[in-house]
Amino acid sequence: MGRFTIRQEIQCGQDTFWKLFFDRQFNEKLYREGLGYPDFTIVQQTDTESGTVRKVTAMPKYELPGPVAKLLGSNYRYSEEGSFNPATKAWTWKHIPSSMADKLLIKGTVRIEPLDNGNVTRIIEVTLEAKIFGVGGLIESSFEKQMREESDRSATFTHKWLQSGGLT
């Protein structure tokens, strides 16, 4: 099982970060244009007193090694189920892959910490487990690489979005 943490400065304050995180238009643009996903759909997003629940379906544009791509199939997709707890200010999520769902565990949390300059540090903690003999480690390292690259592109896209007068 692999665990890793991604920490990045996002150039906005706490309130703006969470507004963007739950903004439908921003997410559509981020995933389709910023990350190049052929498909990204917010299936459900519900706000209640106890927090926000969101379900999405997505087809990521991953560059995976041959054996991993072959195992997962050319049309790899996932559903994401997540919830935001306003008390802890943390988003907890889980991916349900379209293939090998019984052998792949991909879950994590997103939280932020304020910085002295008015920005925030986005902290993404991920747990990855691929129970597939012979290629489990390769799958885990491949997904980690893709998630780190996506996170970098997401931070850049967010900065450009905000600079262009997006949600403030």
The domain segmentation of the chain, as residue ranges, is: 2-162
Residue 167's pLDDT is what?
A: 58
Residue 64's pLDDT is what?
A: 83
Tokens of 152: 């970098």
Residue 168's pLDDT is what?
A: 45
Residue 65's pLDDT is what?
A: 85
Q: Which of 49, 124, 128 is nearest to 92 (CA)?
A: 124
Residue 148's pLDDT is what?
A: 97
pTM: 0.93
Place of tokens 């995976």: 64
> For 122-141, what is each residue's pLDDT tens digit?
999 999 999 999 899 999 99
Residue 73's pLDDT is what?
A: 84
SS3 at position 104: strand
Specify the pairing of strand 120-130 against strand 104-114.
Answer: antiparallel
Residue 55, φ and ψ in degrees, nearest 5: -125, 135
Contact by Cβ (8 Å): 75, 50: no
Q: Is 2-162 CATH 3.30.470.10?
A: no
In the chain, which residues have pLDDT < 70?
167-168
Place of tokens 């997709």: 77
Residue 57's pLDDT is what?
A: 98
